[in-house]
Amino acid sequence: MGRTLLFTLSLSLLAPYVFGQVARDFMVGGGFDLVKTDNEGFVQKAQIGFEGNYFLTRQFTASAGLEFWVNDGVSFAFGGRWYPIENFFTRIRGLVGENDVSIGAGWNKPITATWHFEAIGDFYFKGEFGIRMGLMYIIRR
């Protein structure tokens, strides 16, 4: 019993230090939607996004970016991410121009110390769902 308690206490004290990002790091990158429920054909309504994230803490980011649709124009996206564990995050974004909000969850896999591959699923309040993949670059403070 004592060893289990000591092990659990040790893990809880070390948990804040296991995240790869630290407060004040930046993360920039982009991605494209592999699948979106309102797409009627291949690349007829492609959506590409570029995003920047600022780590307020190790677990929370503020984000801003642009979303481009082949036929529908451009939207400004702003929101944030929460990383409950290092490689998994949830996010919420407002899309100005498209007048929509999206909530989603994603996973990232480090390729190198600064490059990460991401896969994200987003639910849009207008009733659509999309799956996105992309690359992110971490700029250390």
> pLDDT digit string (tens) for 70-119?
777 899 999 999 999 989 999 999 999 989 999 999 999 999 999 999 99
Give me the residue spans of the domains in the chain: 2-139
> pLDDT digit string (tens) for 20-70?
567 889 999 999 988 888 777 666 677 899 999 999 999 999 999 999 987
Closest CA to 47 of 129, 137, 140, 139: 129
Q: Length of the chain in residues, anyone?
A: 141
- Residues paired with 73 in a beta bridge: 69
pLDDT in the model for residue 141 = 82
Long-range contacts of 56-59 (CB under 8 A, 24+ apart): 56/23, 57/23, 58/16, 58/19, 58/21, 58/22, 58/23, 58/83, 59/19, 59/83, 59/84
- Looking only at the bridges linking them, the beta strands covering 73-85 and 60-69 are antiparallel
Structure tokens at 69: 């649709």
Higher-confidence position of 4 and 107: 107
- For the domain with range 2-139, which CATH number is right: 2.40.160.20, 3.90.550.10, 2.160.10.10, 3.40.50.880? 2.40.160.20
